[in-house]
């Protein structure tokens, strides 16, 4: 029996040794494979020349990047670079360096290292229009943005802007780069400029019928509007995007989920459920677990709003457990904050504090600024409610400090945005005027040559006949030239008016800033940005829809009400016959008269019940505007200006009268009528201005 035990023990030892040896060989094999890098396909080793191997590697890397298989990219790129250096093939050196930058960007998230390799690519492709030069500059711009280095990012952004200025709108390269540039402007809070470049990408994709690209551009623009707290436009553009993304799974799911989120913000839970179901159905169809989890968090948010607390808790418990097994810290933070809302609704303040504290820790670690601010705000309110005033004050102070810092950065971004928008407007106007001037010179030169030849031919044939023909030809040319010059004059007048108006608004913003009135300055700046965007949209057109023009005028009056501390009331009315038709008018045509009524009539009045009324009505084939105020009247206004502004000369009304004259085409009726108003005691009681233009 003892012998059997000894034998049995020896066999156990032997088996253990064999097992250890097997494990050792397996481990050594795996370790050697890792050390050697990811394996290459068998066909690679069958290739005989370095050139064949390099071309094979270049295609294999490209396929891996397209399929999101990033593990082999770095090692394969290094192998290709080594062969390219050995064979002195400069173009392939640049391509493999670019692929190494891609690996460090998307596999390892080492942006500094990625920038180092992208910069090494550019000397191998000195032509700025070459693919790898352009894409390297784009990657450097975006990686600097990821690092928060605005100055360096904008250096390369400006290189790309100068490059695409020379390209047609339909160029695929311009479309792609416009979207990249827009994303960087959005990242740094310069939303109006970002919108300009997103719209450029949308126009270009429409021209070339690139519906997938169009859908992506629309979806990005929608997210930008959501970031600007304009959920109406966010939903509008997201719905447009869905039409073009039906065959693009991930963007379709993301966009449908975004619409659900936007509807929840509006309290429209039925519509939110419709689009959330679309996103979830697609996620189940393709087996995208990450999107399913994210959608569960959105659904829980709906249940909380509907007071279905048990259903919300079940979803959040399941989602958080799944998220802890992934690296999706963004959705985890969102889920924890939603859970805290659920806890507070149930008055379970200890659980709410626990969830908010964890959300704050994660958001701080990952630099999720929005969730950090939200967690601090909610923690301060929660601790105050439970009587922990000391810690509540600490969280509140940190929240205020962080929020003020963000507000300061936002204001700087808006001012930079405004400056770029203004420069863009000026540049476009200058280009348009130069083009018109060039057209006139070409036409004059052409007519001059025709006239000279005509005289020679006419002298040879018959003097009298030549005179008649020349007279008729010259008369037609004068009419043609007159129309062209009238069109040019109209554009010149519009370009004079826009800077005049912009400088007045900028002075108002400066006054608020000098008075240290941050809230008024921010409110004024937001409305002014919207008005500038409206002016930019309409500045390229001779006429704009009447309803859109009235919206811009209403926004302008709101700015003036802020400027004068709501000193006067404002009402506007559009004739239903006008509102129901597709009528178009010159942009901001009556704005100078409204400005006069406010600045010269209402601003100097000491009365309490001050009013400004603007109406637009349809009379036969004419549109009649009426601007009426109950201010101090024209006589007192002239006395005030002589005393306070003796050297001031306004050109706004003169320019406007010329615009009306040109637009009406020398019609017989009087286009502008100004009436002084008086009360029953014959005292001045304001001014009424009537402007009549042709209806088109």
Question: Could you please report the per-residue DSSP string of 126-138?
Answer: -STTSHHHHHHHH
Task: Report which of residues 374 and 413 the model is more confident about.
Answer: 374
Low-confidence winner among 197-211, 228-242, 528-542 (lowest mean pLDDT): 528-542
Give tens-digit pLDDT for 259-310. 999 999 899 999 999 999 999 999 999 898 989 999 999 999 999 999 999 9
pLDDT at 18: 37
Q: Give the helix, strand, coil percentages of the chain, each rounded to 5.
A: 75, 5, 20
pLDDT at 6: 33
Q: Is the pLDDT of residue 661 over 90?
A: no
Across 371-384, average pLDDT = 93
Cα–Cα distances (Å) from 351 to 43, 356, 486, 537, in that order, read 59, 9, 73, 50
The answer to whether 492 touches 523, Cβ cutoff 8 Å, is no
Give tens-digit pLDDT for 349-371. 999 999 999 999 999 998 888 89
390-399, 429-438, 476-485, 505-514: which is most confident: 390-399
Give tens-digit pLDDT for 553-604. 999 899 888 888 889 999 999 998 888 778 999 988 999 999 999 988 999 8
Q: How many CA atoms lie within 13 A of 411 on its CB side?
A: 16
Of all residues in the chain, the percent with pLDDT exceeding 90 is 52
Across 75-100, average pLDDT = 95
Element at 164 (helix H, strand E): helix 150-164
Among 573, 651, 644, 636, smallest CA distance to 602 is for: 636
pLDDT at 501: 60
Average pLDDT, the chain: 83
Give tens-digit pLDDT for 458-495. 677 777 777 788 777 777 767 765 665 555 455 544 54
The answer to whether 77 touches 114, Cβ cutoff 8 Å, is no
The angle at the Cα of 38, spanning 83 to 57, to the nearest 5 degrees, equals 35
pLDDT at 322: 94
Give tens-digit pLDDT for 12-63. 443 444 334 333 333 333 333 334 456 777 888 899 999 999 999 999 999 8
Task: Report which of residues 507 and 303 the model is more confident about.
Answer: 303
Copy the structure tokens of residue 6: 């000894």
The answer to whether 687 touches 675, Cβ cutoff 8 Å, is yes
Quickly state the pLDDT bin for 440 (edges 50, 70, 90): low
Low-confidence winner among 77-91, 429-443, 486-500 (lowest mean pLDDT): 486-500
The answer to whether 687 touches 633, Cβ cutoff 8 Å, is yes
Element at 106 (helix H, strand E): helix 90-106
The answer to whether 237 touches 219, Cβ cutoff 8 Å, is yes
pLDDT at 19: 39
pLDDT at 31: 38
Give tens-digit pLDDT for 166-182. 889 999 999 999 999 99
Task: Report which of residues 116 and 435 the model is more confident about.
Answer: 116
What's the CA gap between 64 and 62, in Å, rounded?
Answer: 5
Q: Is the pLDDT of residue 130 over 90?
A: no
Across 130-153, average pLDDT = 93
3-state secondary structure 332-357: HHHHHHHHHHHHHHCCCHHHHHHHHH
Sign of the dihedral defined by the CA atoms of residues 264, 265, 268, 272, in that order: negative
The angle at the Cα of 291, spanning 285 to 292, to the nearest 5 degrees, equals 70
What letter would DSSP give residue 581?
T
Across 148-154, average pLDDT = 92
pLDDT at 686: 94
Task: Report which of residues 470 and 87 the model is more confident about.
Answer: 87
Task: Report which of residues 687 and 418 the model is more confident about.
Answer: 687
pLDDT at 421: 55
Cα–Cα distances (Å) from 149 to 82, 154, 498, 612, in that order, read 32, 9, 34, 48
pLDDT at 428: 54
The answer to whether 304 touches 345, Cβ cutoff 8 Å, is yes
3-state secondary structure 199-239: HHHHHHHHHCCCHHHHHHHHHHHHHHHHHCCCHHHHHHHHH
Q: Is the pLDDT of residue 432 over 70?
A: no
CB atoms within 10 A of CB 469: 15
């Amino acid at each position: 029996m003892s012998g059997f035990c000894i034998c049995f023990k020896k066999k156990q030892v032997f088996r253990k040794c064999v097992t250890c040896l097997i494990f050792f060989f397996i481990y050594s094999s795996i370790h050697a494979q890792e050390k050697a890098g990811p394996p290459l396909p068998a066909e690679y080793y069958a290739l005989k020349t370095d050139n064949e191997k390099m071309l094979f590697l270049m295609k294999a890397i490209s396929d891996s990047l397209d399929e999101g298989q990033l593990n082999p990219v770095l090692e394969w790129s290094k192998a290709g670079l080594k062969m390219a250096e050995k064979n002195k093939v400069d173009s392939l050196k640049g391509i493999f360096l670019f692929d190494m930058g891609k690996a460090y960007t998307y596999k390892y998230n080492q942006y500094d290292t990625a920038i180092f390799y992208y910069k090494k690519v550019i000397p191998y492709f000195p032509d700025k229009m070459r693919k790898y030069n352009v894409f390297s500059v784009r990657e450097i711009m975006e990686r600097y943005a990821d690092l928060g280095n605005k100055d360096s990012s904008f250096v390369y952004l400006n290189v790309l802007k100068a490059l695409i200025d020379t390209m047609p709108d339909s160029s695929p390269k311009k479309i792609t780069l416009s979207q990249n540039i827009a994303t960087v402007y959005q990242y740094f809070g310069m939303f109006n400029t970002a919108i300009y470049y997103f719209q450029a990408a949308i126009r270009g994709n429409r021209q070339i019928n690139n519906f997938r690209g169009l859908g992506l551009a629309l979806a990005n623009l929608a997210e930008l509007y959501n970031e600007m707290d304009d959920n109406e436009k966010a939903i509008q553009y997201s719905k447009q995007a869905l039409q073009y993304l039906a065959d693009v799974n991930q963007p379709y799911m993301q966009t449908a989920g975004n619409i659900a989120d936007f509807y929840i913000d509006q309290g429209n839970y039925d519509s939110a459920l419709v689009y959330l179901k679309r996103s979830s159905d697609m996620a189940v169809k393709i087996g995208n677990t990450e999107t399913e989890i994210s959608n569960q968090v959105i659904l829980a948010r709906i249940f909380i709003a509907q007071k279905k607390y048990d259903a919300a808790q079940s979803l959040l418990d399941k989602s958080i457990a799944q998220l802890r097994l992934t690296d999706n810290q963004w959705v985890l933070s969102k889920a924890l904050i939603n859970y805290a809302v659920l806890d507070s609704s149930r008055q379970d303040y200890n659980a709410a504090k626990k969830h908010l504290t964890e959300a704050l820790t994660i958001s701080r670690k990952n630099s999720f600024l929005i969730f950090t601010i939200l967690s601090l705000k909610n923690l301060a309110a929660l601790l105050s409610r439970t009587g922990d005033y000391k810690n509540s004050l600490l969280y509140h102070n940190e929240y205020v400090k962080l929020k003020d810092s963000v507000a300061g950065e936002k204001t700087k971004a808006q001012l930079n945005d405004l400056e770029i928008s203004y420069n863009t407007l000026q540049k476009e106007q200058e280009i348009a005027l130069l083009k018109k001037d060039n057209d006139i010179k070409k036409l004059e030169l052409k007519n001059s040559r025709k006239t000279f030849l005509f005289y020679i031919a006419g002298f040879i044939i018959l003097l009298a006949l030549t005179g008649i023909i020349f007279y008729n030809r010259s008369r037609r040319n004068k009419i043609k030239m007159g129309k062209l010059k009238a069109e040019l004059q109209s554009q010149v007048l519009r370009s004079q008016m826009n800077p005049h108006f912009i400088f007045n608004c900028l002075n108002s913003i400066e006054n608020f800033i000098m008075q240290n009135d941050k809230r008024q300055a921010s409110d004024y700046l937001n409305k002014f940005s919207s008005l500038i965007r409206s002016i930019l949209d309409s500045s390229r057109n001779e006429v704009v829809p009447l309803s859109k023009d009235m919206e811009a005028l209403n926004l302008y009056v709101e700015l003036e009400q802020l400027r004068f501390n709501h000193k006067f009331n404002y009402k506007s009315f559009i004739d239903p016959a006008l509102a129901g038709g597709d009528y178009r008018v010159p942009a901001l045509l009556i704005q100078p008269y409204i400005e006069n009524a406010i600045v010269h009539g209402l601003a100097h009045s000491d009365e309490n019940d001050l009013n400004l009324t603007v109406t637009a009505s349809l009379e036969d084939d004419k549109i009649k505007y009426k601007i009426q105020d109950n201010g101090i009247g024209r006589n007192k206004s002239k006395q005030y200006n002589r005393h306070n502004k003796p050297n001031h000369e306004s050109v706004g009304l003169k320019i406007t009268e010329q615009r009306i004259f040109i637009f009406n085409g020398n019609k017989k009726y009087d286009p502008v009528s100004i009436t002084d108003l008086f009360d029953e005691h014959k005292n001045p009681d304001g001014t009424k201005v009537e402007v009549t233009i042709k209806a088109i």
